[in-house]
C-alpha cells in the first residue's frame, strides 16, 4: 500500500477558487510536516511556468509547487492546452509542444494517450510524496463531456482520492450550483465527494447558517468550511477571468499610472504582478483606445498569437493611439515576449504556425524583424541588464516560438552568458525583451520606477519590498486563513479512510 495520500478539489464552475485552495493545502500539508506535491492532469491556460529543466507547465501548478517548497516538474501537469487560434490549441505534453489540435480532434484522438500520461504521472508522484493535492477543471457535471474527460472524476478514481467540491458564493446561487452539481453526478462519483467548501464569502456568517443547515440535511454532505474573501493576496493568478477585477480607470491617488494592453490572446500577464504591490503604482488593463489616456508606462505583455493580436490593436484603434502616445515621448513602452515582437517592424509566419496570415507590420517602435518558428524556446535565463547607466543582474524565463533579429545599431537590453536579449531606444523610452518575470527582479523594478519618479519630479523611493518575500508571506497567510475556516482534520481523516479502503476504478 502506497504511503501517499491524495485529496482532490473540484469546483462547480471555472474560477470557483480551486487553484487558490489547492495552493493553500500545499502549504498547510508542508507546515504539518508532509512532503507534498500539486497535480493537475490537464490544464488549459495561457499563463505558463518554466520548470528547472526548461519545460512548460501551467502557472498554477508552478505556484502550488512553490507553496509546497519543492521544484515543479512536468509530472505535476503532464498535459497543458494553450489556445492559439479559433477552435485550435497547442497541446503541450510533459513540457514540450506535441501538436496543434482542434477541440473535436483532441477529444477523439488524444483520450487514450491522455489516460496513460495521467496514470504514469500520478504513479511517479505517489512514489515520492506523502500528500498529493489534485486540482480539477471546470465542473465535474459537464454531462456532455464526461464520457471522455481527463481532469475531474476520472482522475479522482485513478488517484483513489476523496473529492471536496468548491462553490463560489460571490457568483450567486451557491446552494443551487452545489446541489445541482451533486445531483448530476453518477452515484459512484457523488459518493466520492466528502464535503463542500463555500468560497469568497463576504458578510455575517450567522445569516448563512440556516442555508448551511439546509444543505447538509438535503444532500447529506458536510459543509467543511466557509472561507471569507481574502483581499490583496499577491499570489499569481492563472485564469484570464481574473483580468475583470482590474479597473481600466487611472487611480489619481497613485503617482505612477501603468496601462497593460489586454489583447485577446494575452499570456503570462502575471509579469506585471510586482507593480501591484508597489505603493505608488496603479495597474490597469485596457482593451479600448479611450481607456489609454496618458500613462507613465505602457506594457505590451506576452501573446499566444502575435499576428492576430497585432491585428486586434489596429482594428480596435489602439495601435493608432499607442503611436500618438509614443510620439509625445513622455511614456515608457515595455514589450515582453509577444509584446516585444509587436514593437518591431515586421512579424513573419511563413509556415502558418500561429495564423493563416503569413506576415504583418509591427508597431514600428523598434527596428526588429521576427519570424515565427516551429521550434519553441522554453528556458530559465539570467544575465545583466543595462538601464539608466546601471548594470543590473536579472533572472527570468523565456517561452516563445520565434526568432527576432535586431539591427546592430540598436542597443540590446540584456547580456547573457553567450548571447544578447532585447532591444531599447537610445532614450530608453521603448524597451523590449523575451524575459518573462523581468519585473520580478526587485532592483530593476526600483530603478525603473524611480526613473519615472525623477521625470515627474518626485522623490525616489528606496528599499522597496521584495516581491518574492511578499509572495512567500502570502502563502503562509493563505494557509492560515484556510486552516482557520476549513475542517482540515476531517479532510485528513477522509484521505486516510480512502487509502485504507483502497477504492479503485
> Which runs of consecutive H residues, i.e. helices, occur in 86-186?
103-109, 111-128, 153-159, 174-184
The beta-strand segments (E) located in 281-433 are: 281-286, 297-300, 302-303, 332-336, 346-348, 359-361, 368-387, 390-406, 414-415, 420-421, 423-424, 430-433
Distance CA 305, CA 287 (A): 16
Q: Which helix (H) or strand (E) holds 92?
A: strand 88-93
Round to whole Å and give the CA distance between 246 and 65.
26
First to last CA, the chain: 16
**Percentages (nearest 5) of helix, strand, coil residues in the chain:** 40, 30, 35
Q: Do 394 and 435 touch, CB atoms closer than 8 A?
A: yes
Active-site position among 337, 423, 440, 485? 337
Q: Which of 94, 282, 400, 436 is catalytic?
A: 436
E strand or H helix at 190, and its extent?
helix 187-192
Containing 36, the helix (H) or strand (E) segment is strand 36-39
* Residues contacting residue 493 through CB under 8 Å, at least 6 positions apart: none
Q: Is 436 a catalytic residue?
A: yes
Backbone angles phi, psi at 283, to 5 degrees: -105, 130
The CA–CA distances, whole Å, from 357 to 251, 263, 306, 346, 373 equal 39, 17, 11, 12, 14
Q: Based on DSSP, count helices (H) and strands (E) in the chain, helices before strands.
A: 14, 26
According to DSSP, the β-strands at 368-387 and 346-348 are parallel
Q: Which residues are catalytic?
A: 337, 436
Amino acid at each position: 500500500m502506497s504511503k501517499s495520500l491524495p485529496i482532490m478539489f473540484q469546483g462547480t464552475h471555472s474560477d470557483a477558487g480551486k487553484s487558490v485552495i489547492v495552493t493553500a493545502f500545499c502549504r498547510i500539508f508542508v507546515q504539518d510536516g508532509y512532503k507534498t506535491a500539486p497535480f493537475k492532469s490537464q490544464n488549459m491556460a495561457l499563463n505558463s511556468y518554466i520548470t528547472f529543466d526548461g519545460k512548460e507547465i501551467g502557472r498554477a501548478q508552478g505556484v502550488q509547487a512553490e507553496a509546497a517548497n519543492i521544484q515543479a516538474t512536468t509530472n505535476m501537469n503532464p498535459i497543458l492546452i494553450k489556445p492559439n487560434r479559433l477552435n485550435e490549441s497547442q497541446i503541450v505534453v510533459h513540457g514540450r509542444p506535441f501538436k496543434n489540435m482542434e477541440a473535436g480532434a483532441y477529444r477523439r484522438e488524444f483520450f487514450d494517450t491522455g489516460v496513460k500520461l495521467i496514470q504514469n504521472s500520478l504513479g511517479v508522484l505517489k512514489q515520492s510524496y506523502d500528500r498529493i493535492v489534485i486540482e480539477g477543471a471546470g465542473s465535474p457535471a459537464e454531462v456532455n463531456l464526461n464520457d471522455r474527460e481527463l481532469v475531474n472524476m476520472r482522475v479522482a478514481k485513478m488517484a483513489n482520492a476523496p473529492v471536496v467540491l468548491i462553490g463560489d458564493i460571490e457568483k450567486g446561487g451557491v446552494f443551487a450550483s452545489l446541489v445541482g452539481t451533486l445531483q448530476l453526478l453518477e452515484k459512484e462519483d457523488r459518493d466520492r465527494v466528502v464535503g463542500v467548501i463555500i468560497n469568497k464569502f463576504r458578510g455575517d456568517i450567522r445569516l448563512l447558517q440556516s442555508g448551511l443547515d439546509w444543505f447538509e440535511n438535503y444532500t447529506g454532505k458536510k459543509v467543511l468550511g466557509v472561507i471569507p474573501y481574502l483581499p490583496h493576496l499577491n499570489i499569481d493568478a492563472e485564469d484570464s477571468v481574473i483580468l475583470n477585477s482590474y479597473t481600466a480607470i487611472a487611480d489619481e491617488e497613485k503617482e505612477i499610472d501603468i496601462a497593460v494592453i489586454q489583447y485577446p490572446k494575452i499570456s503570462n500577464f502575471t509579469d506585471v504582478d510586482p507593480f501591484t504591490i508597489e505603493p505608488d503604482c496603479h495597474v490597469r488593463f485596457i482593451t479600448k483606445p479611450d481607456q489609454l489616456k496618458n500613462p507613465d508606462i505602457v506594457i505590451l505583455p506576452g501573446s499566444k498569437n502575435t499576428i492576430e493580436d497585432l491585428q486586434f490593436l489596429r482594428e480596435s484603434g489602439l495601435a493608432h493611439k499607442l503611436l500618438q502616445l509614443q510620439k509625445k515621448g513622455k511614456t515608457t513602452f515595455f514589450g515582453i515576449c509577444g509584446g516585444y515582437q509587436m514593437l518591431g517592424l515586421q512579424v513573419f509566419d511563413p509556415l502558418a504556425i500561429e495564423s493563416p496570415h503569413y506576415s504583418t507590420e509591427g508597431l514600428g517602435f523598434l527596428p526588429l524583424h521576427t519570424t515565427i518558428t516551429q521550434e519553441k524556446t522554453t528556458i530559465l535565463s539570467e544575465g545583466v541588464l543595462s538601464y539608466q547607466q546601471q548594470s543590473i543582474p536579472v533572472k527570468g524565463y523565456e517561452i516563445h516560438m520565434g526568432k527576432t533579429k535586431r539591427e546592430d545599431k540598436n542597443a540590446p537590453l540584456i547580456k547573457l552568458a553567450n548571447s544578447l536579449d532585447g532591444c531599447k531606444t537610445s532614450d530608453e523610452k521603448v524597451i523590449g525583451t523575451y524575459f518573462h518575470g523581468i519585473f520580478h527582479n526587485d532592483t530593476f523594478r526600483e530603478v525603473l520606477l524611480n526613473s519615472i519618479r525623477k521625470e515627474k519630479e518626485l522623490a525616489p523611493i528606496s528599499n522597496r519590498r521584495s516581491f518574492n518575500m511578499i509572495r512567500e508571506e502570502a502563502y503562509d497567510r493563505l494557509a492560515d486563513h484556510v486552516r482557520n475556516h476549513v475542517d482540515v482534520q476531517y479532510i485528513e481523516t477522509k484521505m486516510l479512510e480512502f487509502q485504507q479502503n483502497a477504492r479503485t476504478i
